[in-house]
Amino acid sequence: MLIFKLVAFPDTVAERPRRTPTAPAQREEQLMENVIVVGASSNEERYSNKAMKMLSDYGHTPIPVAPKDAEILGRTVYASVAAVPGPVDTVTLYVGPQRQEGLFEQIIGKAPRRVIFNPGTENPGEYERLRAAGIEPIEACTLVLLRTGQF
């Protein structure tokens, strides 16, 4: 004999309990990073913009690199990776391989710990060069890494 328990679901999304991930800023062991976002955009529909917001929400310092805007989300935009002042821990890419010419020389010059190749930005031909410079290439989604505590 099967017994089913009836569960009432809320009628609206607003009534549903929200699951929110624990932001890394709330974890003592998490190191906050300076993160260059190559291909940053002021368009809120773009994943690079979502990454800028989420990086900031998680306590990191997103540094936008893009040719068009002067400011994104209140942060100064730099025209190139080489123009970014100070140390950088991570570079996260939001530009496809066809727009990456000359980019890796600049990245190697900044000497980040890793480069995150978000979906659509993968460029396996550059991975060995990054590794030779002591930089870890990672094929992953920045948003997923943040949400799952793997950033």
Q: Which residues of 73-96 are buried (b: 16+ CB within 10 A; e: fewer)?
A: bebebbeebeebeeebbbbbbbbe
| 3-state secondary structure (DSSP) of residue 48 | helix
Domains recognised in the chain with CATH numbers: 32-121+134-147 (3.40.50.720)
Can you tell me the mean pLDDT for 95-106?
96
pTM of the model: 0.80
Average pLDDT, the chain: 86
pLDDT digits (tens, 9 = 90+) for 16-75: 333 344 444 444 445 789 999 999 999 999 999 999 999 999 999 999 999 889 999 999
DSSP 3-state assignment of 105? Answer: helix
What is the C-alpha R_g of the chain?
Answer: 19
d(CA 104, CA 59): 26
Judge contact between 72 and 40, C-beta under 8 A. Answer: yes
